[in-house]
């Protein structure tokens, strides 16, 4: 295994920090490991902070990873915040689009602080599922 996965339980999400060598195989393996860990913990919001070294993956690899996650992620995750600290260009936005088009609740960020804020906002919205309906009733 040429990566290391560190998990930190946050207030409303699991923070997964992954370091090591950038390869399609490593990305596929750590994503599956994170999924298994989230299921075991009953935690369905995750912040993935990728800190891989080495050449960036090509567009085809990124597409295949994002597209193949559908069956494993659907029904498991409520929100996935993804930060690739070494990302270059728009490739991660492409990955987000591919995943979202397949129903995976993911959003890509360039900074961990922004990803944390988004996840906490998702938790807040989820804890108030009838807030909009209550507001509509009050306006009538």
Helices 59-68 & 24-41 angle (0-180, nearest 10): 20
pLDDT at site 136: 47
Structure pTM? 0.85
In the chain, which stretches have pLDDT less than 70?
A: 1, 128-140
Q: Which helix (H) or strand (E) holds 94?
A: helix 91-101
pLDDT at site 134: 47
pLDDT at site 130: 57
pLDDT at site 129: 55
Residue 54 CA to residue 128 CA, distance in Å, equals: 43
pLDDT at site 68: 86
pLDDT at site 135: 39
pLDDT at site 1: 58
pLDDT in tens, 109-128: 999 999 999 999 987 777 76
Please state, as a whole number, how many other Cβ atoms lie within 10 Å of the Cβ of residue 127: 9
Shortest CA distance to 82 belongs to which of 16, 1, 3? 16
pLDDT at site 140: 44
DSSP collapsed to 3 states, 54-71: CCCCCHHHHHHHHHHCHH
Residue 13 CA to residue 79 CA, distance in Å, equals: 9
Evaluate whether 6 touches 17 at the Cβ level (below 8 Å): yes
Q: Which helix (H) or strand (E) holds 117?
A: helix 112-126
Evaluate whether 2 touches 27 at the Cβ level (below 8 Å): no
Q: What Å distances lie between residue 67 and 13, 54, 55, 61, 73, CA to CA?
A: 23, 23, 21, 10, 11
């Amino acid at each position: 295994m040429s990566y290391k996965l560190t998990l930190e339980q946050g207030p409303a999400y699991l923070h997964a920090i992954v370091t090591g060598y950038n390869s399609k195989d490593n990305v596929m393996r750590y994503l599956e490991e994170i999924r298994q860990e989230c299921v075991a913990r009953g935690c369905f919001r995750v912040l993935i902070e990728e800190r891989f070294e080495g050449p960036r993956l090509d567009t085809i690899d990124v597409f295949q990873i994002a597209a193949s996650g559908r069956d494993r992620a659907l029904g498991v995750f409520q929100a996935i915040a993804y930060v690739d600290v070494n990302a270059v260009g728009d490739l991660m936005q492409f990955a987000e689009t591919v995943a979202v088009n397949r129903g995976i609740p993911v959003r890509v960020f360039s900074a961990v602080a922004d990803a944390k804020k988004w996840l906490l906002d998702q938790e807040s919205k989820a804890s108030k599922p009838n807030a909009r309906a209550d507001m509509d009733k009050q306006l009538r």
